[in-house]
Chains A and B, each alone.
Chain A
């Protein structure tokens, strides 16, 4: 079954600094990969997804992620952090119409 590992349960950056949230996956078939963001007391919002097209995927709010098959990774980046980016970020993997498996989440803190 597919699975996801997110390295680092907490990441803290300064405003304007690079954001890098790590995600590694395991899947028996070519996966679909997703990043979701969860703001406090809210639901899950799709940031971006990889579904076997371009390996560099651009999402909302200036985030992007690169699918690297050789490294089984799908790390999320943003060149310059903003205070409003503070949230919980979840990487997820799916094998099509099956269930989606989520990572444990990474809480991003942005310091002024």
Chain B
């Protein structure tokens, strides 16, 4: 069964450094998403992406964040200058044309020191 994959599974970085989180959505899906989950808290929406542009973003998704679909398979989340409070699990999700169900990847656990 097709799955959303994410790399790396864990990343540790120093405050102020840039990180890029990578996702490979399910191949025929058209809608892509990033969510984050701070430890012990609920899953929060960051951004949705369709037709090579951002379709919606939350107040969390400030100028430090950017997303890209550099080729036909990858979907990336870049955090330009990480802060301590960016430490969280980041989930990628994708959805097909029928716009019903988002399928989630296993997540990348980011720790900012």
Seen from chain A, the residues whose Cβ lies within 8 Å of a Cβ on chain B are 32, 34, 36, 42-46, 49, 51, 90, 92, 94, 96-105
Contacts and interface: CB of A to CB of B under 8 A. Distances in A.
Nearest to A98: B56
Interface residues of B, number: 25
A91 B55 CA distance: 23
A102 B43 contact: yes
Nearest to A49: B101
Given A43-B91, A43-B104, A43-B105, A102 B44 contact: yes
Interface of B: 31, 33, 35, 41-45, 48, 50, 55-56, 58, 91, 93, 95, 99-107
Contact of B56 (A32, A42, A90, A99): A99
18 contacts: A42-B106, A43-B105, A43-B106, A44-B104, A45-B104, A46-B103, A46-B104, A51-B100, A90-B42, A96-B99, A98-B48, A98-B56, A99-B33, A99-B45, A100-B93, A102-B43, A102-B45, A104-B41
Contact of B107 (A43, A46, A101): A43
Given A43-B91, A43-B107, A100-B33, A32 B42 contact: no
Given A97-B95, A103-B42, A36 B104 contact: yes
Contacts of A44: 43, 91, 104
B63 to A, nearest CB: 19
B103 A99 contact: no
Contacts of B41: 104
Report whether over half of chain B's contact residues are helix, strand or loop; otherwise say mixed. Answer: strand
A45 B91 CA distance: 12
Contact of A97 (B35, B44, B58, B99): B99
A97 B93 CA distance: 12
B95 A101 contact: no
A49 to B, nearest CB: 6
B94 to A, nearest CB: 12
